[in-house]
Structures are given as C-alpha cells and as structure tokens.
Amino acid sequence: MFKLESQSFGLDISDLSLKIIKLEKDGEGLKLSSFGETRIPSGIIKGGEIKDIENLAKIIKKGLKQVKGKRIRTKYVISSLPEEKSFLDILQIPVMNEEEIENAVRFEAENYIPLKLDDVYFDFEKIQPISKQKKYQEILIAATPKHIVDPYFKALEQAGLRPIALEIESLAIVRSLIKKNTSTGPLLIIDFGETRTSFIIFFGKSLRFTSTIPISSQALTENISKNLKISYEKAEKLKKKEGLEGKKEIFEAIIPPLTDLAEQIKTCLKYYRSHAPKDQTLTDKRKLERILLCGGGANLKGLVGFLSSTLKVKVELSNPWINILKETVKEVPELSFEKSLAYTSALGLALRNYD
C-alpha cells in the first residue's frame, strides 16, 4: 500500500471551464504546486450533464499540459461532481453500533433521495450532532445518479487519468473554506458561479443544507449586453470594471438579477428554518452569523455591500486558503486572492487526501 496524497490533484469540472489544483507538502504545511484553468465550449456539458465525453477528455488533456507551476506527472485525480445533479441531507438515526448503521442508513435514505438507491452512487459519513445530547446519531448522506457520474468517470479515463475519488462540489467547498477541526455557528456559503449559484448552510462541523439556483455571473453579463446592445465580451469587461459602483447603466442592468438573488437567499433561509430539525435550525437565539462568498462572481464590485445591506447580515469574501496557508495569508504570488475565489472547489478537492 502507498499513500496517494502527494501524487493526486484536484480537478473542478463545470459547464464552461475546468480548474486544476495540485498541492504538495511544505514542511508541516502545504503549498501550491500547479494550477490552471481551461475553457470548455458551450454544449459539451449542460446543467452538469456531460453531452460529449470524447471532447471533454481532449480538453482535460489540454488543460493538464497548460498548467502553471510544476508539470503534473501523476495520473491520480480527485474530481468534482455537479451540485445541481446531486443530493445531500442529514439523517438522524438512533445510537447503534457500526455494523447496524449501514443497514439503518440505507433504509432511511430511501425516504430522502428521490431516486432508487440502485440508480445512484451513494455514500455516507457519521458527523457530530450540534446538540450534546446522545439520543441519536447524525449521518450526512450524499448521492448522485449513475447516469450523471459514469460519463465523468469515462471522460477522466479517456484523458488517461485514474480517479481515486469523485466528490459533490459543496463538500469540496466546505473543506476549502471552513477551518479544519473547528465547530461554527450557522453560516451560509454562497458559491456565485458562472452558470449557477449554490447555497450551502454549514452549522457545527457539517454542512446542513444545499440548494442550487440558475442566477449566475453569466446572467449579469447577458443583461448588460442586452440592455446596452453590445457584445457579450464587451459587457463582461464592463461588468468587471464597473460592478455596482460604477456607471448608472451598468448598475441598472445588473441590479434586477441581484435583487432576485437576495430574495432567493431569503427563501433558502426560510425553507431551512421550517424544515430542519429543531436542534439544527435557525432561531432568534441561534441566528445566521455571517455569509461567505466564493466563486468567480464573488469579485463583483459592490456585491458584498449590497448583500449585507439587503439581508442585514455580515457578508464577506471567503478565504479558500485557510487550510493551506497561514491564517493571515490569503494569496500566493502565482494566484491572486481574487482569482483564487474561482478555484475554491478545486482547492477543496486537492485538500481531500490531506484531511
């Protein structure tokens, strides 16, 4: 047997891009070894579902050749699975021995996953309950349909890689953003991506709830392009330059979807309050402590202030290096803090074997 941690790398695959991160040991800590981003033409992946395995495999090969830093020689990879096609939930089962847990979890999971267990890849892990009472054991369950997962596995194999783990994106995000071995009050993580936005509620030592909506950074650009009657490329440049703090016409173009985003956040929190078990949910005494933003869209000028004032909650940009660099350091010379927010999932995937 041999450890793969020094040989594997993280690969975050989304609809329009793939991001690569490889870490390596640096004394008692870690450091960035390799990184890179490669665009994926529209249509190869749609809504998290791979439509063209062969071309995706070619793009993965191309991306590996173009990484910055050290050349990636390993074939071992930890890759992401699409959040919008996956299911995560928390089960509460009676306290029992290890042998009994798997049967109990599989029996209960059928009530939470809207597909037959034979049609999904399914996994679970024990987590520490929020309350100190020991009347039940908490289990985090995760599942993704086989018809979604299999093409990812095939594309990786065709690219000459050996997947040692495929992981739902929100689990990688949490590993990247939450300080290891700590317990937190209620947090909302917002992954504001290019084609969709994900909400992750984290509480104690585990994520508690996830949801995905189609509002995205791309939608903001499309609004600017449509309102100002300019090309998508020019609209993207204006969005980055002006954001919510610049020209009035840019503000007016992007404020409607952002207002919708704020309302969706409120809906998410309301749903969680009404559906989570009483000892997990948000109450007057157990309020949402803060909101962490990640994803490439998190860099929009004025977004933190807009969400803070609209939601009346502290909002801040997350630190995807918190489990890699010293706490006061949020970037490396090769990869700026702003750019690293788009690598949050890839960093979390690369961290998996260092847990």
Q: Decide: helix, strand or coil at residue 330.
A: coil
When pLDDT is cut at 50, 70 and 90, the band that residue 5 belongs to is very low
Closest CA to 271 of 215, 193, 199: 199
**Tell me, what's the pLDDT at 226?**
96
Closest CA to 86 of 248, 207, 222: 207
Q: Decide: helix, strand or coil at residue 229.
A: coil
| Domains of the chain, first to last | 9-222+243-354 (3.30.420.40)
Residue 70 identity: K
Quick: pLDDT tens for 276-300.
Answer: 766 666 665 567 889 999 999 999 9
**Tell me, what's the pLDDT at 285?**
59
**Tell me, what's the pLDDT at 133?**
64
Name residues whose C-beta falls within 8 Å of residue 107's C-beta, 6 or more positions apart in sequence: none
**Tell me, what's the pLDDT at 134?**
67
**Tell me, what's the pLDDT at 3?**
46
Quick: pLDDT tens for 8-52.
Answer: 999 999 999 999 999 998 887 899 999 999 999 999 999 999 999
β-bridge partners, 32? 23
Instruction: Out of 77-81, 267-271, 308-312, pick the least confident.
Output: 267-271
Q: CA-CA distances (angstroms) from residue 276 to 58, 186, 268? A: 43, 13, 12
